[in-house]
Structure 1
Amino acid sequence: MMKKEWLIVMLSLVGFSACSRKPKDGLTDTYTSGVIIIAADESFQPIVQEEVDVFEGINTLAGIVPRYTTEVNAINLFLKDSVRVAIVTRTLTPKEINSFHSRKFFPQEIKLATDGLALIVNRTNTDSLISVRDIQRILTGKVKEWKDIYSASHLKNIQFVFDNKNSSSVRFVVDSLCKDKPLSKNLRALNNNREVINYVANTPEAIGIIGVNWLGNRSDTTNLSFRNEIRVMSVSSEDVATPDNSYKPYQAYLFYGNYPLVRSIYVLLNDPRNALPWGFTSFLTSDRGQRIILKSGLVPATQPVRVVDVENKQ
């Protein structure tokens, strides 16, 4: 029997036999023991899972059960008190905070890391420089074919794919790139980041947008190489992308702000009992938890970043 299943069974038996000693809210977890479900944006599944595995290895009586889902669903679960921890890319709105306050809850919003959104293309596509302006033109339907951006391209219609229609990636392009302009009807939403990688790897005309921590080459401790099955584009803030003004989502370029497609990762926490949700969140922001983020290629909120010179940033 797996550790998490064993914990659930044992804690259920303990809870059944000691029901008279349960607190009024029915929760029995402590700062370092018990089982809880958390919600996490699917974009961060690789790094969240590693954090969970290490935390459970240290706290052998604790079980963290992640529910990887869209950002919209993760926040809805948090708002409904279905989970006490959500890992997402935005803070709560004033309306959402007021909803908690009306119930005498005072949730915390803790920055965990800085993330980047990567643009990926098929390995056969040699056009790997793109400007934010051209990304906007693709997303809003002003550009539909590869030759409209790269005149020498032999590819035809651009197939832009997202991980999910309710994902944080979609919200980012709507809020930060397109400034609420309507998105093209030719865009396609799949189910998750893994499907985007597979689709782009098998579709020469495709371009996908995914979280940077899905790109990591685990054998490269310098975080200077990406997955082999796709090509990562270099992005420029200038209107015309050139090798000198375009950057890939390397950790140092996220840290210094050279790479334009960046966003923050937050832990939303609602745990007035100071129990396991606080214990796990404290681990995420601790030196050890932040070092896991550092190793993943993201920029931790508190851990210093080791800057490595990149001779060829493309």
Structure 2
Amino acid sequence: MKINLRPIAAFASLLALASCGGDPSTKLDTPTSGTINISVDESFQPIIESEINTFEGIYKYANVNAAYKPEGQVVKDLLNDSTKIAVLSRELTEEENAVFKKNNRVARVTKIAIDAVALITNRQNPDSLLTMDELKQIFNGEVKSWKSLEKDSPLGDITIVFDNNNSSTARYVRDSLIAGNKLPANTFASNSHKALVDYVEENKNALGVIGVNWVSDFDDSTVVGFLNRIKVLGISEDPAPVTTEDYYQPYQAYIAQEAYPLRRFLYIISTEGRTGLGTGFASYVASDKGQRLILKSGLVPATMPVRIISLD
């Protein structure tokens, strides 16, 4: 009797390949190895790029591919399962969680930082201080001119500029400052944070709204370049401030002390069904090493104390 050895040989080859690790593309990722695609709110590109570079430097078999997008697109990616890891400045709504529940998916949320929204103006703008009441009037459309805020101002009509119509900063302003109402007709969107800074630098009537991460890391050459071209406003919650000391810029200490009013949180949201690379990356960002990077970036770490030193 003759035996066809070809199927046996083929099966033996597959076993040998499997024992050596097999095709890398078919291997499941682990918390410290493999490849994963994540969606990130573009407001946080500087800090997340730094976290990814450091994480991949420590774990040489880890490859985290980040796509930086407006907040609305990031949420859409998470809901349609085109990504399992997202970085956002808000938690999911009841409706969004219901979508995951319907599809037998669970969203795990890790708070990683306290962030803020910064307001920037042209360097020729003499007004560098605004109260929260004035801000609300601007974003409600009640105040449309710089002269309405300061009668001696040499400037004209205010132009409000966001980085994107679907950005987290635009959503933050709608939710926190104007109770969900529409933004006024003098509101525009640029195509990127660089384009936003370019516009504010070139237009003396502009009021830009930007994530503080783009103006907070003084060791980042891009941030330093931005700060040399625009002015960051101080904000006061007091409706009748007495001195300039009643106003606060979005510096790390003022965010940590809750003196700066336009604060928000930063989260990593994971829908991984097991402990994979996304979970490993989220754990790293929330760890001591990851939180130190957040501290260095000018944001406030969520899981480690910030030491405030008085110079008085």
TM-score range, shorter chain: 0.7 to 0.9
Alpha-carbon deviation of 1:113?
Answer: 0.6
Other-structure match for 1:188: 188
CA contact (8 A) 1:294 1:303 kept: no
| 1:1-314 → structure 2 map (5 Å cutoff) | 18=22, 22=26, 28-219=28-219, 227-241=227-241, 242-309=243-310
Which has the higher mean CA deviation after the structures are superposed, 175-184 or 259-268? 175-184
Structure 1 residues 225 and 290: alpha-carbon distance in aligned structure 2, compared to 1, 3 A threshold: farther
* 1:248-299 CA distance string (max 9 Å, x none): 0111111111111001111111112201001110111000000000011111
For normalisation by structure 1, the TM-score amounts to 0.87
CA contact (8 A) 1:217 1:225 kept: no
CA contact (8 A) 2:164 2:191 kept: yes
Alpha-carbon deviation of 1:103?
Answer: 2.0
Which has the greater radius of gyration?
A: 2
Q: Distance in 1 between matches of 2:245 and 2:25?
A: 66
* 1:160-182 CA distance string (max 9 Å, x none): 10110001111111111001223
Amino acid at match of 1:53: N
CA contact (8 A) 2:215 2:224 kept: no
The count of aligned residue pairs is 290
Q: Distance in 2 between matches of 1:143 and 1:230?
A: 22
Q: Distance in 1 between matches of 2:136 and 2:122?
A: 20
Amino acid at match of 1:34: G
* 1:186-217 CA distance string (max 9 Å, x none): 11111222221111112111110111110035
Q: Distance in 2 between matches of 1:58 and 1:21?
A: 22
Moved beyond 4 Å, runs of 4+: 17-22, 223-226
Q: Distance in 2 between matches of 1:133 and 1:20?
A: 58
- Structure 2 residue runs without a partner (length 5+): 1-17
What is the CA RMSD across the aligned residues, in angstroms? Answer: 2.3
**Aligned partner of residue 181 in structure 2, secondary structure:** coil
CA contact (8 A) 1:226 1:232 kept: no
Alpha-carbon deviation of 1:225?
Answer: 12
Amino acid at match of 2:85: V
CA contact (8 A) 2:216 2:251 kept: no
Amino acid at match of 1:41: D
Q: Distance in 1 between matches of 2:214 and 2:25?
A: 44
**Aligned partner of residue 196 in structure 1, secondary structure:** helix
CA contact (8 A) 2:110 2:268 kept: yes
Structure 1 residues 212 and 177: alpha-carbon distance in aligned structure 2, compared to 1, 3 A threshold: same
* 1:59-84 CA distance string (max 9 Å, x none): 11111111000111001101111111
Amino acid at match of 1:39: S
* 1:222-263 CA distance string (max 9 Å, x none): x99982211110001122344131100111111111111001
Q: Distance in 2 between matches of 1:277 and 1:90?
A: 19
